[in-house]
Structure 1
Amino acid sequence: MKIAIIGGSGFVGTRLINELKEHGHSEVINIDKQPSHFYPEITTLANVLDQNKLDELLAGQDLVVLLAAEHRDDVTPKTLYYDVNVQGMRNVLNSMDTNGIKRIIFTSSVAVYGLNKENPSELNPVDPFNEYGKTKYQAEEVLQKWYAKDGSRNVNIVRPTVIFGERNRGNVFNLLRQISSGKFMMVGNGDNKKSMAYIGNIVTFLRFFIEKLSHGYNVFNYVDKPDFTMNELVTHIGTVLERNIPTTKVPYAIGMLGGFGFDFLAKLSGKKFNISSVRVKKFCATTQFDASALMTLGFVPPYTLAEGLANTLRYEFVEKRDSSRDITFTTE
């Protein structure tokens, strides 16, 4: 099978290419506007907005894995979300039609459900709150229309929760670093739960899509279960790192007051601080998503959430490496 990964130079794409090569998928190409640190030999620089280049590069391919997206919170102008995430999807599908390709795997996001929803499943209505979530779902709508025109096509969509793992510099890494530093105070009672997804499981699930789900229109959330509470996460980090993690707890109201204080300082100084009222609110919120549907597929993740966290913690905070030469990937 000839597999074209679009947007494979980043965190998920790099690990996916490695996963595919380790399991016998030798005919893989990567199309990305950024060079690949790990797989330059199979990477061609191109943009999803370049229709002619996509037509050329997708010739002869059997399946497309679309990872490319504008995802950061600070993208400007905001029209880039729509250009890349929505028009980019249209361009990819146009090139697939030109080249007779009928299979696509698309990484969407649980951001399509919006904020403060109670454990939403794939059957819940969408309610995105930002341009990223809105454009991810608009891209899904483009896929729905494409599939409706020809039932022999195959669309597989995964909506992952926040992804973490070795080399990733995103929100989960920042939280793990803060907790493991010993300079951590729990805001609230710590009973709120957080859905997370380990990179080793995500790429195995994408390979499962490639090898097992070759028909129909399929949408699945991806979350590693069971979810940890913040208290359980702190305990697990202390166990893995063999450290005594402080468990001082600050009432939510005081934590929010401190967050507002940093908001005020940021407004006065023009500087960005690691603490804000929004971050305190997100930290204390329960963020859970239902992933029971994927269990019906017979998919078994190779790692538990605890194992994924342990792998990440040991790699980032225990093993000795030259940080100046270590390749990392920055995400939200």
Structure 2
Amino acid sequence: MIKVIGGSGFIGTRLCKRLQEAEKEFAIVDKAVSKRFGDVCRVADVRDKKALEDVLENRDAIINLAAEHRDDVRPKSLYDEVNVDGAKNVCDVAEEKGINKIIFTSSVAIYGFAPPGTDESGEINYFNDYGRTKWAAEKIYKDWQAKDPEKRTLVIVRPTVVFGEQNRGNVYNLLKQIVSGKFVMIGNGKNLKSMAYVENVAAFLEYSIDAFRPGVHIFNYIDKPDFDMNTLVGTVNSKLGKSSGTKIRLPYVLGLAAGYGFDLIARITGKNFPVSSIRIKKFCATTQFDTSISKKTDFTPPIALHEGLERTIQYEFLEDNTSNDELFYTE
């Protein structure tokens, strides 16, 4: 039995759809009931070890997608409670139950603002609590595997920013701004962005269930080729039948100053805004990563990145899907 912890979320729902289509036996473990797979969903929070003991069984394979990941998480202690303490609980229960396979979704956030082309050997240089706690969780899982290295299989997947239909995160917000015609390009738009289409991430997680022998296997997940911001904007406008250029551009210094202004207003009012200094920095940074997946495995992404982007634009902005209320809010 495959237990998908955090399976009610964006990536988890796509993964479970694939598992269902492949007729693989699975169950979801999540603090929220899955809208699509409620009949196989068991309610449990990774912070509650006893709850995990009740839903995990001997010979299960665990895929852990549960995480606190947004930039605006409050209280900040949730990062440690969910990402770090949750990892410890999962490993403790796995040890008690004799579970020997864990697939853990970490993040390229552990590398921080990394040099272009950073692969799995890159320097750990996180800049926020999300990256810090994901790295701490990785070490907990590695310690679990090291206790019985001949039997235990650990796969750590570090995705870059993941996008796709029904997601309400940073990529969706960017696409929405471009579609609206109100998009403002901050900086010269030549910074490269590694991206990952949700169907491909789910496919690699599914692939990982049976592909690896005991040991520690670590992979960044990136769909290639990388887009720069100008190309991304041009692709969206082309799909919409519009001019490919960007009408309004703002120098980086002015954009960052505006971000700090919103930070100050947020601290004074207690409200969160879509613009912040950290989001401006993320937007303008080159976040270009590499992966060893093609070198070390025979996995092939089922959907080309360009096609994944076009599918997302078609679903979100060119079709009427308002009757589908299954939306996922992420960064």
Q: Cα offset for 1:265?
A: 5.5
2:241 is matched with 242
Match of 1:139 among 137, 151, 154: 137
State the Cα RMSD in Å.
1.9
2:172 is matched with 173
Q: Cα offset for 1:185?
A: 2.6
Residues 17-64 of structure 1: CA distance to partner in whole angstroms, max 9, x if unpaired?
001111121x10111111111000000111112222222211244301
Between 121-130 and 172-181, the greater mean CA deviation after superposition? 121-130
Secondary structure, counterpart of 1:219 in structure 2: strand
* 1:67–1:107 contact (8 Å) kept in structure 2: yes
2:26 is matched with 28
* 1:180–1:245 contact (8 Å) kept in structure 2: no
Amino acid at match of 1:329: F
* 1:221–1:294 contact (8 Å) kept in structure 2: no
Report whether the alignment pairs 1:326 with 2:308: no
Between 211-220 and 198-207, the greater mean CA deviation after superposition? 211-220
* 2:157–2:219 contact (8 Å) kept in structure 1: yes
1:9 is matched with 8
Amino acid at match of 2:301: P
Aligned length: 329
* 2:293–2:299 contact (8 Å) kept in structure 1: no
Q: Cα offset for 1:143?
A: 1.2
Match of 2:54 among 56, 59, 65: 56
What is the alpha-carbon distance in structure 1 between the residues aligned to residue 263 and residue 88 of structure 2? 40
Residues 219-255 of structure 1: CA distance to partner in whole angstroms, max 9, x if unpaired?
0000111100111111111122222355233333343
Q: Which TM-score applies when normalising by structure 2?
A: 0.93
What is the alpha-carbon distance in structure 2 between the residues aligned to residue 69 and residue 51 of structure 1? 16
Residues 189 and 18 of structure 1: CA distance in aligned 2, closer, same or farther (over 3 Å): same
Amino acid at match of 1:169: R
Residues 265 and 100 of structure 1: CA distance in aligned 2, closer, same or farther (over 3 Å): closer
Q: Cα offset for 1:214?
A: 3.5
Residues 17 and 113 of structure 1: CA distance in aligned 2, closer, same or farther (over 3 Å): same
Taking the TM superposition and a 5 Å limit, the aligned residue runs for 1:1-332 are 2-25=1-24, 27-151=25-149, 152-248=151-247, 249-260=249-260, 262-263=262-263, 272-322=272-322, 325-332=324-331
What is the alpha-carbon distance in structure 1 between the residues aligned to residue 294 and residue 300 of structure 2? 9
What is the alpha-carbon distance in structure 2 between the residues aligned to residue 158 and residue 41 of structure 1? 28
* 2:83–2:133 contact (8 Å) kept in structure 1: yes
Residues 170 and 186 of structure 1: CA distance in aligned 2, closer, same or farther (over 3 Å): same
Amino acid at match of 1:117: P
Residues 226 and 203 of structure 1: CA distance in aligned 2, closer, same or farther (over 3 Å): same
* 2:219–2:292 contact (8 Å) kept in structure 1: no
Q: Cα offset for 1:15?
A: 0.7
Amino acid at match of 1:65: I
What is the alpha-carbon distance in structure 2 between the residues aligned to residue 76 and residue 236 of structure 1? 36
Q: Cα offset for 1:106?
A: 0.3
